[in-house]
A = this chain, B = another copy of it.
Amino acid sequence: MNETKPKWSRRKDARPAEIVDAAMDVFVEHGFAGTKLTEVAKRAGVAKGTLYLYFETKEDLFRATARQALSANLQAVEQASAAFDGSVAELVPVLLKRAAGRLGDGRIPGIVRMVLAESRAFPDLARIWHDEVVARMLGLLTGLIAAAQAKGEIRAGDPKLYAMSIVAPMIMGLLFHEVFGSESDQAPDLDALAAQHSQAILNGIFMD
C-alpha cells in the first residue's frame, strides 16, 4: 500500500483533457448526433460512466470539445499575427503560406467543418466561434489593413471586406480538401494557392 499505485492514480486532473482530446476526433468524424459516447469512452480509455464525472451531458462534452478546439485555433491566429511589423505587401504572402502549412494538416479543417455543421443546433458555439475566433481574426487583419491604408499602401475601401478577399480563398481551399479529400483532381494545392492568391489580391489578376 505504498505510494506507487500508478495504474490509475496517474494525473487525475489530466482526465478531462484526455477525454476532450478523444472526443474531438470522434465528434469531428461523426458529428454530434452520430457520435456515441461509448466510442468516446473507449478512445479515451475510460468507462462510459467516467465521462459523467467530468461532463454533465453529451452536449456539455461537445461544447467543451468545440471550445477547446476553437481556443487552439485562436492561439494559431494569435501567433500568426505576431508577425505584423512589415508592410502588408510582405505580410499577406507570409500569412497565407503559414495558413496553408499550419492549418492544412492538423485537425483544424475538420473542426471548422464540425462547428459549421453544428452551428445551427448550437448557436452558443457559433457565437463563441464568432466572437473568439472569427471576429478576432478579422479584427486583426482589418486593423493591419486600415493602418496600411493610412500609410497609402492599400487602396481605399472597407478593410473588413478586403480582409475577406484575402483570407477566404485559403479557407475555401482548406474546406475543399476536408470535404472532397485530396482525391479530387480539382483540389487546389494549398501552397500554390497561397502564393498565387497573394499576388492576385495584391496586384490584381487583370492585366493593365
Question: Could you say which residues of chain B place their CB within 8 Å of the CB of A179?
Answer: 116, 119, 126, 130
Chain A interface, >50% SS class: helix
Number of interface residues of A (CB under 8 A): 60
- Assuming the A-B contacts A116-B116, A184-B130, are A196 and B154 also in contact, with contact meaning beta carbons closer than 8 angstroms in the complex? no
Q: Which residues of B contact A14 (CB under 8 A)?
A: none
Task: Please tell me if A72 contacts chain B, counting CB pairs below 8 Å.
Answer: no
29 A-B contact pairs sorted by A residue (CB < 8 Å): A31-B118, A34-B121, A88-B206, A89-B206, A113-B116, A113-B120, A119-B179, A119-B180, A126-B180, A134-B180, A134-B186, A138-B186, A154-B206, A154-B207, A155-B203, A157-B196, A157-B200, A160-B188, A161-B196, A162-B196, A162-B200, A164-B169, A165-B169, A165-B196, A168-B169, A168-B171, A169-B169, A200-B201, A202-B204
**Given A31-B120, A164-B169, A165-B200, 17 further pairs, Cβ under 8 A:** A29-B120, A31-B33, A33-B33, A33-B34, A113-B119, A116-B175, A152-B207, A155-B204, A155-B205, A157-B205, A158-B196, A160-B188, A161-B200, A162-B200, A164-B188, A168-B173, A203-B204
